Structure 1
């Protein structure tokens, strides 16, 4: 009897419940959501140039907001890029409706997103696109210039048409944190191998003034204080240290001269700039070194360099990864043309491939105005030439260079360039720039000579004092023909500061 009562009760309750559900149908209000319908003017690939302004202005349409009140939404521009640890992460580019900024993303192609969130509903809509960043400041001549007695880096940037665009004040134009102070000294770049320190830089672009020397990030030109050259040096650093010369010897190997001391670096063996190598172990004496480095930079066999000992007026040699230098033994009397202990002052020295590769040095007699040319093979130490230089007005020469193919001595005075043939002892004026003043001459030594074929062209940098400071500098390059032929103007560039040092950023 109880079971029957319970069954009837259950049936009654079930009927009541079903009746309640039936009555509740249609009592809810369903509101249409504000949906994203279209985003126009957002290309599938956004191309931006590093260091220049990018502007993308999407046209957005929502279903319930035909006039589009942008205050009702939040925005996010993002991309996936390397996290510096071998992986990737999402980076936020901007949080405004439009993407309008100076592009600071390293050149490359990235998966990117544009997101719009409805504040009322909290619904986020994300649209994918490709962000392609190109770097016009990728390759070209980097110029350490003098502008009102202050250092400034300008650039001749190689463009897609094969020409060069002038970029004044490269650091400012790229938003670099580095502010140069002091007078210009040097600029140089080479593949250093991965350097110690927090910056994880494997390619060095070094900028030097008479107050300090530092490298910058080679693609973005960003800078941190730990990029200062002193962070690559172990042990104590002389006060006010800066580099006069940095020169690559081989792969991830280099020499540096600063504060009249010579230093050596080799990444493979973890040898960093530390105690000066300008020291003769057999004499247990240091010496002051002239700011020149001689030696074949294209060979790893019997790798070495020639330095000049200013203290004792002699040539010395550094070999391999030794921590000191050695003196040079004079050849037998029959082969000797001069003593490696010259007793003279060094005005200029360079290694050139002429005659199979030789060190050319211009020496000055400290007791007279006479200048001498000494040539020798830096590996074998075989001497090939020694004689007084009788070139026109050579005692007043300001800048020197040696033709790598022909061995001519090139020198400049004021706005004129002269060519001296050591064999015939003849001089020819080859450039006359009138009232303009030459600030630098050089045969540039490209690292990839197969790709870059202008190593035999003479570069003459000059400036016009009548033009505005900072844009009054120019460079002419000349083909140097044999048999003392007239120079042939190859290229001309202008519109930058007074050039004191150059380097080419190869790619």
Structure 2
């Protein structure tokens, strides 16, 4: 009974407390916060990335407003940090990228000295090698020294810049430059895998990662897997695979496949005909090139169709030649111009262009489902357009057209026929004649050579918009004699 009375007493005290007068102070005041504007927005600092070429300057001009209209925000201090280090205490951000590459954490802090309140803005400064993306030129001077140039599409410069590789001399007699686009974490995060070929150098073939523009693979005679005693690696053609890091080269007239730092044994290692591939005689590749390839054999004046035998055999180990299909009697007195592996009407084909005088001849080889060559036929004839000279010849797999150039004009014709039509011309005052032409990523890049120019830079470069065919950049006499070009924008 005493326990029940105690419980009732506690309940009554609780009720009286609930009904007591609340004497608390609830006089709230609005807090005046500083809102930072004028910068990239996003819910996370990964949405706030500022790309910056190495040695360039990033300038940011933030704005501010208060959450309370009319509030005084005149007494502010600022702090800009990069990698945790204070680099500026001024309102505007001026940052010179001269220390580190890559994505650097950064923070902007604004402090209201009257209230002590702080506002933060977190972001990344993404310092990029300026040569990560752009237009590349492999050139040579009057002494045949190799020169590498880039017109960066990251850093806005009015001219080509010469690019030096750390501790590597590019040597003499440059041959080719090519590359493929590689992707990182997204469709907008990409760079170039570049390959440079030089006939006489410490490293005749170099693969370059354009993100920091340093070599990722180096090849020389010591890379050969066979007997190195009498092996000299002096390439005359260097072509990068479009879909991998495999490289196809010609040295001493023989074809070699370069892969993962090693130079394999030559294709058709025991060829009874002792084939010899001339400069430009190596066929273009695509994603089926691990199974079969083609080249022109200048010694025997024959197109050679080679493969690995059965599909179960080792890729790139070319041991079989289908010479019965490409008997030289089918193209007597004709000289080789160019060839390319292509996909035509969803079928695998090698296309060839041959010439005799001013006459042109197109041929095509077909393949069965097990990647064995089963046909070789002439499909078209035509004549060389313009004045009858060929500055270059090129088959574009994107549209299956042949492209030829002479003087200042590029012509093209469908693979189905050789009726060449004018594609475009350079301005009439463009110096020299066209020697190289490539298109990729929505751009056309054209190089010319002007032997009459008194200065050292006899090469000029022109860049067109492929969709509109408008000339976007004209760079006359901007480089030495151009050997090869690559579009890597």
* TM-score normalized with structure 2 length: 0.59
Matches of residues 42-191 of structure 1 in structure 2 within 5 Å? 49=52, 51-52=54-55, 103=98, 105-109=100-104, 132-135=125-128, 136-148=130-142, 150-159=145-154, 165=157, 168-172=160-164, 176-190=166-180
| Aligned pairs (5 A) from 1:279-318 | 279-280=269-270, 283=272, 286-290=274-278, 291-294=280-283, 297-299=286-288, 303-316=291-304, 317-318=306-307
Q: Contact 1:54–1:103 at 8 Å: present in 2 too?
A: no
1:100 to partner: Cα distance: 11
1:234 is aligned, of 225, 230, 236, to: 225
Alpha carbons 2:133, 2:192 under 8 Å: kept: no
1:147 and 1:137 map into 2 onto residues whose CA distance is 21
What is the RMSD of the two structures over their aligned residues, measured on CA atoms? 4.7
Question: Could you say what secondary structure the match of 2:263 adopts?
Answer: coil
Residue by residue over 1:312-364, the C-alpha shift from the partner in whole angstroms, topping out at 9 and shown as x without a partner, is 22222133525343222546xxxx99867867432212223444443222224
Give how far 1:248 is off: 0.7
Alignment correspondent of 2:337? 347
Q: Which stretch has the larger CA shift, 230-239 or 411-420?
A: 230-239
Corresponding position of 1:376: 365
In the alignment, the residues of structure 1 paired with residue 461 and residue 396 of structure 2 have an alpha-carbon distance, to the nearest angstrom, of 21
- Residue 415 (structure 2) pairs with residue 428 (structure 1): no
- Please show how residues 108-507 of structure 1 align to structure 2 within 5 Å: 108-109=103-104, 132-135=125-128, 136-148=130-142, 150-159=145-154, 165=157, 168-172=160-164, 176-190=166-180, 204-212=193-201, 213=204, 214-222=206-214, 227-230=218-221, 232-235=223-226, 236=228, 238-239=231-232, 241-248=234-241, 250-267=243-260, 272-280=262-270, 283=272, 286-290=274-278, 291-294=280-283, 297-299=286-288, 303-316=291-304, 317-319=306-308, 321=315, 323-328=317-322, 330=324, 344-356=334-346, 357-365=348-356, 370-377=359-366, 379=371, 380-383=373-376, 385-392=378-385, 395-404=388-397, 407-420=400-413, 426-433=419-426, 434=428, 436-444=431-439, 452=441, 454=442, 459-463=445-449, 469-470=456-457, 473-477=460-464, 479=466, 489-495=469-475, 496-497=478-479, 498-505=481-488
Contact 1:154 1:167 in 2 (8 A): no
Over 3 Å counting, the alpha-carbon distance change for 1:256 and 1:426 in structure 2 is: closer
User: Quick check: 1:187–1:205 contact (8 Å CA) kept in 2?
Assistant: yes
Q: Deviations over 1:1-26 (max 9, x none)?
A: xxxxxxxxxxxxxxxxxxxxxxxxxx
Measure, in 2, the Cα distance between the counterparts of 1:253 and 1:354. 24
Mapped contact 1:178–1:223 kept (Cα < 8 A): no
Measure, in 2, the Cα distance between the counterparts of 1:501 and 1:108: 33
Whole-angstrom CA distance in 2 between matches of 1:233 and 1:104: 38
Deviations 1:42-88 (A, max 9, x none): xxx99895541679xxxxxxxxxxxxxxxxxxxxx9979xxxxxxxx
Q: Return the alpha-carbon distance in structure 2 between the equivalents of residues 425 and 250 of structure 1.
A: 29
**Post-superposition offset of 1:400:** 0.8
What is the TM-score of this pair, normalised by structure 1?
0.58
Q: Unaligned stretches of 5+ in structure 2?
A: 1-47, 59-80, 85-93, 108-121, 183-190, 309-313
Indicate if the aligned counterparts of 2:438 and 2:487 stay in contact, CA closer than 8 A.
Answer: no
Distance 1:191 1:407 in 2: 21
Which structure has more strand as a fraction of its residues? 2
| Distance change >3 Å, CA 440–CA 394, structure 1 → 2 | same
Shift in CA distance, 306/426, structure 1 to aligned 2, threshold 3 Å? closer
Q: Is the 8 A contact 2:180 2:242 kept in 1?
A: no
State the SS of the aligned residue for 1:227.
Answer: strand
